[in-house]
Amino acid sequence: MKLRLITIAALLGLLSACSQQADSAPTPYPPEYLPTVVALTAQSAFATADASVPTATPLPTDTPAPTMEALELPTVTPTLAAGFNSYAQIHFTSPGPMSSLTSPIIVNAIVAAGNSNLIQVDLLGEDGRVLQRIIKKLESNPLGIFQRFDLSYEIRAVTEAGYIRISTRDDLGRMQALNTMPVLLYSVGTSQINPPGNMIYERVSVEGLEEKSNFYAGEVALSGLIWPYNEEPVFVELVGTDGRPISTRIVKMTGIDTQPFETVLPYKVSEPTPARLTFRQENPNISLSDPELGKLVYVYTVEVILNP
């Protein structure tokens, strides 16, 4: 009888121990809490790793360590003054100015095709020679259409300055828009792409000017802002339907910062006459002149109506 009691007591002790172990087992986390557990575990691991890294020896007191606040990094493009808020008819999204490129390269841009529905893409060397040219048909859209262009080239030098130039024409063959992106071309290496900065905006802002604006009394009076591509003068013209200039004025640039301008273009007509108001600038560093586009680096145009 005593032996049976001892056996029963031992069994009860074992059952009690198992129950305690079951009660002390960790409760599984609900599924929705698992990301939090992982994050907390990672934070703990990083904290442990940081604590195990020896601290750096402090510099002597007479040579304080430089801080990021003390370092001034150059900006890719200057900051535009207020008033430039219209996206360019041709604006590059990649690459940005002075990107270092190796062949082949990818050019992304938003292009508002002219009324001819044709766009032309040129990759130019530093002397203006055409390394590659693409002519493409594109549906006309005033808001622009995203385009990707694959360009390739070969150069003899290790590196040279280059230009990506996109242009459009209207239904009469007149230049409607042209924009240029300066880049660095390398024969070997890895491409380094800069952001476009504020070069997505039009470089000309004219007060009160809209598409098909009407002008009267033989004068087109203009005032506004110009952000020049370089220090070369900006030519302002009224171009007729035959492609010939009706009136031309030269606006001198003083530096490459944004600057105000005022000019008046006279004209003579006997009836309402459409014309294209054109702002254009050239780059004298291009030694070879393209037979079609010359040394143009920027063109902005708006169709206007000239009235007697």
One-letter amino acid for residue 16 of the chain:
S
Judge whether residue 31 has pLDDT over 70.
no
Looking at the DSSP assignment, which residues form a beta bridge with residue 136? 119
Residue 57: the pLDDT is 42
Judge whether residue 62 has pLDDT over 80.
no
In order of 168, 250, 252, 265, the CA distances from 303 in angstroms are 14, 19, 23, 15
Residue 109: the pLDDT is 96
Average pLDDT of the residues in 79-96: 79
Q: Who wins on pLDDT, 229 or 31? A: 229
Average pLDDT of the residues in 15-32: 43
Judge whether residue 76 has pLDDT over 70.
no
Q: Say if CB 239 and CB 246 are below 8 A apart.
A: yes
- pLDDT (tens digit per residue) in 123-181: 999 988 999 999 999 988 888 999 999 999 999 999 999 999 999 999 999 999 999 99
Instruction: List, in sequence order, every beta strand (DSSP E) within 85-218.
Output: 90-94, 100-102, 105-111, 118-124, 130-137, 145-151, 159-169, 175-186, 204-206, 213-215
Tell whether pTM > 0.75: no
Judge whether residue 104 has pLDDT over 90.
yes
Judge whether residue 23 has pLDDT over 70.
no
What is the distance between the alpha carbons of residues 66 and 72, in angstroms, rounded to a whole number? 12
Average pLDDT of the residues in 5-11: 44
Looking at the DSSP assignment, which residues form a beta bridge with residue 273? 306
What is the distance between the alpha carbons of residues 97 and 256, in angstroms, rounded to a whole number? 15
Residue 258: the pLDDT is 93
- Cβ atoms within 10 A of the Cβ of 102, count? 16
Buried b (16+ CB within 10 A) or exposed e, 220-242: bebebbbbbbbebebbbbbbbee
- pLDDT (tens digit per residue) in 201-232: 899 999 999 999 999 999 999 999 999 999 99
What is the distance between the alpha carbons of residues 95 and 123, in angstroms, rounded to a whole number? 13
Residue 82: the pLDDT is 52
Q: Two tokens at 268?
A: 């003579």
Judge whether residue 67 has pLDDT over 70.
no
Domains of the chain, residue spans? 90-306
Q: Could you name the CATH architecture of 90-306?
A: Sandwich (2.60)
Q: pLDDT grade, residue 197 (50/70/90)?
A: confident
Q: Two tokens at 32?
A: 């929705």
Q: Say if CB 194 and CB 97 are below 8 A apart.
A: yes
In order of 72, 111, 160, 194, the CA distances from 181 in angstroms are 25, 14, 14, 11
**100-102 and 175-186: which strand pairing?**
parallel
In order of 108, 128, 150, the CA distances from 194 in angstroms are 13, 22, 18
Q: pLDDT grade, residue 118 (50/70/90)?
A: very high
Residue with tokens 């385009």: 147
